[in-house]
Homo-oligomer: A and B are copies of this chain.
Amino acid sequence: MSGGDGGAGGQVRARRADARRNEKALLDAAAAVFVASGVEAPVRDIAAEAGVGMGTIYRHFPTRADLVVAVYRHQIESCAEAGPALLASGPTPHAALGRWIDLFADFLVTKHGLAAVLRPDSAGFEALHASFLDRLVPVCAELLDAAVASGEIRERLSAYELLRAVGNLCIGDDQDPRYDARRAVRLLVAGLARPE
């Protein structure tokens, strides 16, 4: 209520140098560990890799999901940016949607176990879910709308549902040579096309 830090000229003290250094170290360490052991790697391992304590990790990233989000933020961003570009350059909106979904699926599949953790109920990963989907749902909706407008598909799935479905399909693609998530995803997108 009474004033507080929001007050006039309230210059927030700059973060200490070691804090900045540690955050960088943590992001690098996490990225390395995720590649080596998958996204479900224990937090302790990441702390060890970065050479910091547990407390440090949890001050910078209140939850494991926040760390994951931070590590993949710019990749999500570039995926989001690719949407409009594909729409502009693609032959048809449905083709653009297919390519964009491929991009998304590639991203999920190449990060071991990321997809499995994208569900809203996945033991504390609501934050991850929300963060990723908030950014991507509008992009997907734009592509979907364009495809509907062009008459190529009938919209039986919302953008949210489509992304969740694709996310689900990508779960466990690694660890199981008999299952190819990308093929399933392509089939799903094909099913979107107007049948008659």
Give, as a whole number of angstroms, the nearest-CB distance from A186 to chain B: 8
Give, as a whole number of angstroms, the nearest-CB distance from A155 to chain B: 11
Give Cα A170 to B171, complex, Å: 12
On whether A121 and B175 interact (CB within 8 A), knowing A190-B195, A191-B191, the answer reads: yes
Give Cα A157 to B171, complex, Å: 17
How many identical chains are in the complex? 2
Give Cα A175 to B129, complex, Å: 13
Nearest chain-B residue to A176 (Cβ)? B120
- Taking a contact as CB atoms under 8 Å apart, the answer to whether B176 and A121 are in contact is yes
- Taking a contact as CB atoms under 8 Å apart, the answer to whether A187 and B156 are in contact is yes
Interface residues of A, count at CB 8 A: 33
Across-interface contacts of A193 in B (CB, < 8 A): 195
| 23 CB < 8 A contacts A-B | A119-B171, A119-B172, A120-B175, A120-B176, A122-B172, A160-B178, A161-B178, A161-B180, A164-B172, A164-B176, A164-B184, A165-B169, A165-B187, A168-B168, A168-B169, A168-B171, A168-B172, A169-B169, A184-B188, A186-B191, A187-B192, A188-B188, A193-B195
Extra contacts, 17 of them, besides A161-B179, A171-B171, A189-B191 (Cβ < 8 A), are A121-B176, A156-B183, A157-B183, A161-B180, A164-B172, A164-B179, A165-B169, A165-B184, A168-B168, A168-B169, A168-B171, A168-B184, A169-B169, A187-B191, A188-B191, A190-B191, A191-B192
